[in-house]
Structure 1
Amino acid sequence: MATVGTGRRARTRRGTAVRSLLALCLAAGLAAGCTVPGDPDDGRGPSQRSPGTSGREPGPAVLAVKIDNARGARPHTGVEDADVVYVEQVEGGLSRLMAVYATRLPDRVGPVRSAREADLELLRQFDRPVLAYSGAQSKLKPLIEAAPLTAVTPESFSGVYTRGAGRPAPHNLYLRPGRLMDRPAGAEALTTGFRFGRAPSGGTPEVSRTVRYPAARFTFTWSAGDGRWLVSLDGSPALTSDGGRLAPATVVVQYVTVRPSKFQDFLGNNTPYTETVGSGEALVLRGGKAYEARWNRPGAEDGTTFTTEEGERMNFARGQVWVVYAKAP
């Protein structure tokens, strides 16, 4: 019987094995479940994952990562490489990020935190996405198991996570995408419904826009020199772990219904549910201007389309897109 070493070569072999197993699971549509060996470095045994399937033909899988946005979790790592960043309200009026990767995979992403019920509806627009998260309420776990996605947690795919130094748990857990996937899925996997191209006519000059949650604040300031919207979180510049600035090309403030869910955190705070299926108003920021728009997502398996006030498709600027879900007035 072969033994498993603990050095660099052994970890490389394990990373390759995990990526290969995940690829096989995705190719098989996850119909029979996937057994993944525990990390030899942490002493855990095998874990098993048996999510449901959507019935659609499997396509390339995007990687979605739930990211902590508490003050102690900043600066973030790898968020600047995401194609799309979704912002949602969670318990206590705070916020979390969902970073979606299709064209690039950073070395590390995080800090990684727990999933929410609304994430499952949001991710139905992608073909069997890979969802990396850490922790979920026990009542939510059956819903995650039944969802058409591959859940990657420290328990099920332990070898792809690492703890970072310099900050306390739970703000120090990071995903290593290279140990999970050999390459990014590609732009064709981004079935968001977004369209990119020239800006429409009109629009109102916009220097800065702030979106407020009960206990969180996002400000986007236009930088003509960078051709991007510089992000500030709770009044401070949103930096990357290497000292750069988070700066999307397009920001969408999408006005949605935010209602109480049937879940609560351990303090008894209700978990908000952000409804991303339906239609409503939106504000699109691109090129130093703000455009009034409408959004429409007929069903959970559909992407979201945006149209101008004149009814034409709204084009986004090429580059990273941030979608901030704000409670409709």
Structure 2
Amino acid sequence: KARFVAGDVDGDKRSDIIDFYDYPDGSSRVHLMLAADGHALRDVIGVAWPIGAMPWLPTQIVAGDWNKDGKADVATVTAGQDGVTHVGLLTSLGRALQYAPDAWTTPAAEVRALGCVNCWPLNGMPLLAGQPNPHRRPLAVKIDNAPAARPHYGISQADMVWELLVEGFITRLATYYHSQDPQTIGAVRSVRFSDRYTTPMVRGSLVFSGASQLMEGLVRGDIASGLYVGVSPQLGQGNAFYRSGVDGKVVPHNLFTSSAALRSATSEVGGGGSVDVPAWDFLASGPHPATVGGFLGSVGAGTLTIPYRADALVRYDYDANANVYLRYQSNGARYVLEVDAANGAWIMAKNIVIIRTDVIVTNVVDDAGGAPSLDMRMIGSGPATIFRDGLRQDGTWSRANLVDAFTFTNLYGHKMYLSPGQTWVHVLPMDWQVYSN
């Protein structure tokens, strides 16, 4: 890839050509092609930077006679991921350019932090006076997503929602409540392998209706190891839950609870102390250019579809006025706008994150119907896509261990940031594709 500017570098009153060239290995160079040489490339090396030292995508070049000697000079202007603008000067020596890095950088007092500071770790919203303690333990509630369990209750108040594949390639939701306290949450369902891999990173209180004998043993082992705490009728906290026939719901799709009941139960099982929740990478609150935070080179994405089975297909439509994605889910016949039945709020995602990884069909049966459970790899790295601000950016996810948050980088190696607000995460098999337009 290359960018070009023109200027009279050697002072002979003719326009010369300067290019800023990006090589496939990530290195970059500036070449000078003089009119006096027929614009031939005489110096193949030019001014060279090693791999990653001068990022091509956020760098522009401009020409002008900076020292008034009648010869054109060149400047590189780079928008750094740290919020600092870096200007490098390439001064004309007649038939060559001499480079001086960081001839000007943004003064420290004027740097605007790219990432949020003093914000909620799971949604990036500002911490304000009168809000709950940000060091309290998040509630990690497993929510039923079968058609008979919809509409959901309380999910609009979750900081983050994960849609996870389970047996039969149906999905369930893992909802994380940290900054808000819904009065009604449901319907609650049983735990699966994936919950053991996501709950530790939020230091959560894992809330579930029940578990198979094998899964209960694994969860109890995690609890004993200090990875999280657990609240469930099966673990002895049945008084935190109740059955309801609201919306015609029947067993097993009608187990409900509340934030207050779960926080009380969490304290009873020893989870009431302070925790430090690893923060995800969110942009600073307030308006921001759509392409900041690793989104240079992104493409428009007004609609996207998650290819679950027919009665769980998910579609997101971008609302440019609200700068959110509205969520729709199929009931097998048509798409239905996702609305929180607890408060009538439309589900409006600021970010949609796609994590593709290895999903394995096991010989473990957690389901009463006999379908084998799914397991999945949640550490290491793999392909990722983030939808934000009406844009799509492909890249890579990475995570060193189960207690860490996920991080994302674009194809240029730059960190991708999320917009403050609710994030929906979809963990999909490696060979599934998410199409957008």
TM over 0.5: yes
The aligned residue for residue 88 of structure 1 is: 164
- 1:207 and 2:207 correspond: no
The aligned residue for residue 239 of structure 1 is: 339
Kept after mapping to 2: 8 A contact 1:102/1:185:
no
Letter in 1 for 2:278: T
Kept after mapping to 1: 8 A contact 2:199/2:205:
no
- Describe how 1:25-104 pairs up with structure 2 within 5 A: 60-104=136-180
The aligned residue for residue 281 of structure 2 is: 194
Letter in 2 for 1:141: E
Q: Classify the secondary structure of the residue corresponding to 1:144.
A: helix
Identify if the C-alpha distance between structure 1 residues 176 and 326 changes in structure 2 by more than 3 Å, giving closer, same or farther. Answer: same
Kept after mapping to 1: 8 A contact 2:231/2:262:
no
The aligned residue for residue 135 of structure 1 is: 210
Provide Cα deviations, 1:295-325, integer angstroms capped at 9, x if missing partner. 0011112211011211111110110011111
- The match for 2:397 among 295, 312, 327 is 295
Offset of residue 203 of structure 1? 1.1
> Following the alignment from structure 2 to structure 1, what is the Cα–Cα distance between the partners of residues 394 and 156?
26
Question: Which one has more relative contact order, counting CA pairs under 8 Å at least 6 apart?
Answer: 1
> Which sections of structure 1, spanning at least 5 residues, go unmatched?
1-58
Identify if the C-alpha distance between structure 1 residues 187 and 103 changes in structure 2 by more than 3 Å, giving closer, same or farther. Answer: farther
- Superposition TM-score, scaled by structure 2 size: 0.58
Larger Rg belongs to: 2
> Which sections of structure 2, spanning at least 5 residues, go unmatched?
1-134, 432-437
> Following the alignment from structure 1 to structure 2, what is the Cα–Cα distance between the partners of residues 152 and 80?
22
- The match for 1:161 among 227, 241, 246 is 241
Provide Cα deviations, 1:87-131, integer angstroms capped at 9, x if missing partner. 11111121000001111111111100000022112222233x201
The aligned residue for residue 22 of structure 1 is: none
Q: Classify the secondary structure of the residue corresponding to 2:185.
A: coil
- 1:260 and 2:378 correspond: no
- Describe how 1:175-190 pairs up with structure 2 within 5 A: 175-181=257-263, 189-190=276-277
Offset of residue 281 of structure 1? 1.0
The aligned residue for residue 411 of structure 2 is: 309
Q: Classify the secondary structure of the residue corresponding to 1:225.
A: coil
> Following the alignment from structure 2 to structure 1, what is the Cα–Cα distance between the partners of residues 277 and 320?
28
Q: Classify the secondary structure of the residue corresponding to 1:243.
A: coil
Offset of residue 214 of structure 1? 3.6
Q: Structure 1 residues 69-78 or 188-197, which shifts more?
A: 188-197
Q: Classify the secondary structure of the residue corresponding to 1:151.
A: strand
Identify if the C-alpha distance between structure 1 residues 226 and 187 changes in structure 2 by more than 3 Å, giving closer, same or farther. Answer: farther
The aligned residue for residue 326 of structure 2 is: 230
The aligned residue for residue 152 of structure 1 is: 231
Offset of residue 277 of structure 1? 1.1
- The match for 1:116 among 164, 169, 192 is 192
> Following the alignment from structure 1 to structure 2, what is the Cα–Cα distance between the partners of residues 170 and 196?
40
> Following the alignment from structure 2 to structure 1, what is the Cα–Cα distance between the partners of residues 324 and 274?
21
Kept after mapping to 1: 8 A contact 2:164/2:194:
no
> Following the alignment from structure 1 to structure 2, what is the Cα–Cα distance between the partners of residues 322 and 251?
5
Offset of residue 187 of structure 1? 12
Offset of residue 189 of structure 1? 4.4
Offset of residue 188 of structure 1? 7.8
Over aligned residue pairs, what C-alpha RMSD do you find?
2.3
Offset of residue 256 of structure 1? 1.2
Letter in 1 for 2:157: D
- Superposition TM-score, scaled by structure 1 size: 0.77
Q: Classify the secondary structure of the residue corresponding to 2:201.
A: coil
Q: Percent identity?
A: 27
The aligned residue for residue 50 of structure 1 is: none
